C-alpha cells in the first residue's frame, strides 16, 4: 500500500471551533475517526495529515504531520470526504490497488500521484485534488459522505452511525475487541446489541434496539438503570454513569451521564453529571460542569443559525445544539442556546454566553477576559494526567500556537 495523506482543503480549515486546534482528519464522523476510515478502506498501515503549518506539532497517537514532499505513488485524499466503512475490507483494498483516482458521489475524493508534490503547494489548502497529476489506473468509486459545513458532522450522524454499526455487526471491529450478542439483557427491538468481552454491563440496563444496533466496545462500563437507544456506539474505556443515551457516538475514555441525544464525543471528555446535551459535538478534553444544558430546538421550530468564520449562517437544521472545541470547560448550571460555538480552550460559566465565543475566553459574561496561556497549560496538564496522558513538550508547543493565533468574534460573526 502506498503512503496515505489526508488533506485539509481551505473549506475544511474553516470548520471552527475545531479546525484551529486539530486536523479535520482527526475528527470523529459517525463511529470512527476520518483517518481510521480511510486507513481501513485503503488498507493503509501509515498515514500523514496535511493541514497547514499551524498543526506541525499536533501530537496525538496515530496522527503525524507530513513533511518535505509527498512522494510519487502516494494517495492524497480530501479529509472532508467520509468514506463508508467497507463491508469487505480485503476486497476493497485489492480493488483499490489498481486505481489512481477515487470518486465519492460526483466529486474527486482521492488521487494517486504520478509525480511528487511539494507540500508548499498544499500549504494554504487552496489547491484542489483535480490539480494534482494522477496516474493512469482505473477510477474507483467510494460510498460515503461529504462534509461541506461543520454542522454536517451532526446532520449526517444518524445515517453514518446506521451504516457503521451495520458494518461492525457484519465483520466485527478492528480485530482487537471480541464482540458478542447479548442474551438475557433487557432488550427492546430486533436490531443487534453487541458488547465486547471486556465491557461491564451492570444489571437493569435497558438496550432499546428498536431503531438501530448498539455496540459497546472493549473496556467500557454501563451503570445500572441506564437506557441506551440505538443506533448508538460506545467506544473503548467509556464510563456510562447513568441516564438516557440516544443515537450517540461516544469516543474512547470519556465519561457520560444524564440525557444525551444525537451527539458526538470525540474522546477523553467528561459529561459526568445530569443535564441535557443534544445534537452537539464535544471535542477532545472537554469538561462540562454539573447541570450544563444545551438547547437544540428553537421555540419557533425554525432553522438554527450558527456562528462561522464567514458570519452567522442559516444551517437549515431544525435541531442543532453546541459545538465544543478542544479543552472547553463549562461552569455549573451553564445554559447554552441553539447553535452555540465555544472556541478551543474557552472556560465559561455564569450567564448564558453568546452564540459565538472566541478560543481561550474566560469569565461569566461577555466581554470575556483571555485565559492566560500558562494557567491554561497548567489546567490542561492536570486534566490529561487524570487519564494517564502526558502533555508532551510537542503538544504544549501546539497549544501555545493555537492560543497565540486564536481568532476573535466580532460583529455579525466576523473574525480576526
Q: Compute the distance between CA of residue 399 and CA of residue 343 in angstroms, rounded to an integer.
A: 13
- DSSP class of residue 3 equals -
Cα separation, 202 vs 221, whole angstroms: 8
The continuous run of DSSP H or E covering 342 comes out as strand 340-342
What pLDDT does residue 306 have? Answer: 96
Please tell me the distance from the alpha carbon of residue 237 to that of residue 250, in angstroms, as a whole number.
Answer: 10
Look at the chain and report how many structural domains it folds into: 2
**Comparing C-alpha atoms, which of 172, 165, 163 is closest to residue 82?**
163
CATH number at residue 326: 2.160.10.10
- Tell me which H or E stretch contains 369: strand 369-370
Closest to 404 in 3D by CA, of 17, 1, 21: 21
Asked whether residue 269 falls in the same domain as residue 333, the answer is yes
Is residue 160 within 8 Å of 145, Cβ to Cβ? yes
Q: In the numeric block, which cell numbers belong to residue 33?
A: 475517526
Q: Count Cβ atoms below 10 Å from residue 278 Cβ, excluding itself.
A: 23
| Mean pLDDT, 10 residues at a time, the chain of 416 residues | 89 97 98 95 92 96 94 96 85 79 95 94 94 86 96 98 92 60 81 92 94 95 97 97 98 97 98 96 98 96 95 96 98 96 97 95 94 96 95 97 91 44
User: Are 124 and 171 in the same domain?
Assistant: no
Domain containing residue 121: 4-148
Rounded Cα distance, 216 and 197, in Å:
10
pLDDT confidence of residue 416: 45
**Main-chain phi, psi angles of 260, to 5 degrees:** -120, 135
What is the per-residue pLDDT for 278? Answer: 98
Pair 185, 70 in one domain: no
Same domain, yes or no: 122 and 187: no
Q: Are residues 322 and 353 in the same domain?
A: yes
State whether 164 and 144 are in the same domain.
no
Cα–Cα distance, 238 to 222 (Å, whole number): 8
Give CA–CA dist 208/98, Å, rounded.
43
β-bridge partners, 201: 222
pLDDT for position 209:
94
Residues 141 and 172 in one domain: no
What's residue 238's pLDDT? 98
CA dihedral of 90, 95, 97, 99, whole degrees rounded to 10: -150
Query: Does the bond joining 17 to the residue before it have cis omega, within 30 degrees of 0?
Result: yes
Q: Pick the last residue of a domain from 106, 128, 148.
A: 148
- Assess whether 23 and 103 both reside in one domain: yes
How far apart are alpha carbons 89 and 40 in whole angstroms? 7
What lies within 8 Å, CB to CB, of 237 at 6+ separation is 218, 219, 220, 252, 253
Q: 267-271 long-range CB contacts below 8 Å, 24 or more apart?
A: 267/28, 267/235, 268/384, 268/387, 268/389
Determine how β-strand 329-330 pairs with β-strand 305-308: unpaired
**pTM of this prediction?**
0.94
Same domain, 123 and 270: no
CB 224 within 8 A of CB 240: no
Q: Where is the domain boundary, 148, 168, 198?
A: 148
Tell me the C-alpha distance between 144 and 335, whole Å. Answer: 35
* 121/118 Cα distance (integer angstroms): 6
Last residue of a domain, one of 120, 148, 176: 148
Asked if 170 and 100 sit in the same domain, the reply is no
- What burial letters (b/e) apply to 138-173, b meaning 16+ CB within 10 Å? eebebebbbbebbbbbbbbbeebbbbbbbbbbeeeb
* Residue 415 pLDDT: 47
Does residue 277 sit in the same domain as residue 249? yes
**Which residues on adjacent β-strands are paired with residue 211?**
none
Q: Which position has the grid cell 496516474? A: 135
CA distance 82 to 142: 9
Q: Which three cell numbers stand for residue 294?
A: 444545551
Kindly state whether residues 141 and 180 are assigned to the same domain. no
Cα 348 to chain centroid distance, Å, stands at: 22
Per-residue pLDDT at 133:
80
Q: The cell 446532520 sits on which residue?
A: 155
Sequence-distant contacts of 355-362: CB under 8 A, at least 24 apart: 355/305, 355/306, 355/307, 355/312, 356/307, 356/312, 356/409, 356/413, 357/409, 358/406, 358/407, 358/408, 358/409, 359/17, 359/20, 359/21, 359/325, 359/402, 359/403, 359/406, 359/407, 360/403, 360/406
Using CA atoms, how far apart are residues 206 and 415, in angstroms rounded to an integer?
A: 46
Name the residue with cell 450567564: 351
Amino acid at each position: 500500500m502506498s503512503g496515505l495523506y489526508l488533506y485539509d482543503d481551505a473549506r475544511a480549515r474553516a470548520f471552527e471551533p475545531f479546525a484551529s486546534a486539530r486536523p479535520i482528519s482527526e475528527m470523529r464522523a459517525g463511529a470512527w475517526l476520518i483517518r481510521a476510515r480511510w486507513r481501513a478502506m485503503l488498507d493503509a498501515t501509515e498515514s500523514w495529515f496535511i493541514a497547514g503549518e499551524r498543526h506541525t506539532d499536533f501530537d496525538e497517537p496515530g496522527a503525524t504531520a507530513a513533511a518535505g514532499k509527498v512522494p510519487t505513488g502516494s494517495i492524497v485524499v480530501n479529509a472532508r470526504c467520509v468514506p463508508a466503512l467497507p463491508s469487505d475490507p480485503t476486497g476493497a483494498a485489492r480493488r483499490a490497488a489498481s486505481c489512481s483516482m477515487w470518486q465519492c458521489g460526483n466529486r474527486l475524493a482521492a488521487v494517486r500521484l504520478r509525480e511528487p508534490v511539494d507540500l508548499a503547494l498544499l500549504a494554504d489548502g487552496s489547491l484542489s485534488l483535480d490539480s494534482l497529476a494522477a496516474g493512469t489506473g482505473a477510477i474507483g468509486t467510494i460510498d460515503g459522505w461529504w462534509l461541506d459545513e461543520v454542522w454536517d458532522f451532526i446532520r449526517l450522524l444518524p445515517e453514518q452511525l446506521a451504516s457503521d454499526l451495520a458494518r461492525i455487526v457484519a465483520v466485527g471491529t478492528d480485530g482487537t475487541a471480541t464482540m458478542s450478542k447479548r442474551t438475557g439483557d433487557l432488550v427492546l427491538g430486533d436490531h443487534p446489541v453487541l458488547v465486547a468481552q471486556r465491557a461491564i454491563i451492570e444489571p437493569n440496563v435497558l438496550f432499546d434496539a428498536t431503531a438501530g444496533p448498539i455496540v459497546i466496545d472493549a473496556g467500557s462500563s454501563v451503570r445500572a438503570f441506564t437506557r441506551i437507544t440505538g443506533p448508538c456506539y460506545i467506544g473503548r474505556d467509556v464510563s456510562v454513569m447513568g441516564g438516557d443515551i440516544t443515537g450517540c457516538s461516544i469516543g474512547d475514555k470519556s465519561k457520560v451521564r444524564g440525557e444525551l441525544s444525537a451527539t458526538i464525543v470525540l474522546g477523553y471528555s467528561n459529561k459526568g453529571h445530569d443535564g441535557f446535551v443534544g445534537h452537539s459535538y464535544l471535542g477532545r478534553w472537554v469538561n462540562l460542569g454539573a447541570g450544563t444544558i444545551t438547547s437544540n430546538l428553537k421555540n419557533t421550530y425554525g432553522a438554527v443559525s450558527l456562528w462561522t468564520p464567514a458570519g452567522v449562517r442559516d444551517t437549515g437544521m431544525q435541531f442543532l445544539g453546541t459545538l465544543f472545541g478542544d479543552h472547553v470547560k463549562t461552569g455549573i448550571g451553564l445554559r447554552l442556546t441553539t447553535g452555540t460555538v465555544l472556541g478551543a480552550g474557552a472556560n465559561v460559566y455564569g450567564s448564558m454566553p453568546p452564540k459565538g465565543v472566541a478560543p481561550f475566553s474566560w469569565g461569566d459574561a461577555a466581554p470575556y477576559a483571555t485565559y492566560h496561556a500558562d494557567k491554561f497549560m497548567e489546567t490542561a496538564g492536570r486534566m490529561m494526567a487524570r487519564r494517564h496522558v502526558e502533555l508532551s513538550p510537542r503538544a504544549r508547543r501546539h497549544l501555545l500556537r493555537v492560543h497565540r493565533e486564536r481568532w476573535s468574534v466580532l460583529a455579525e460573526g466576523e473574525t480576526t
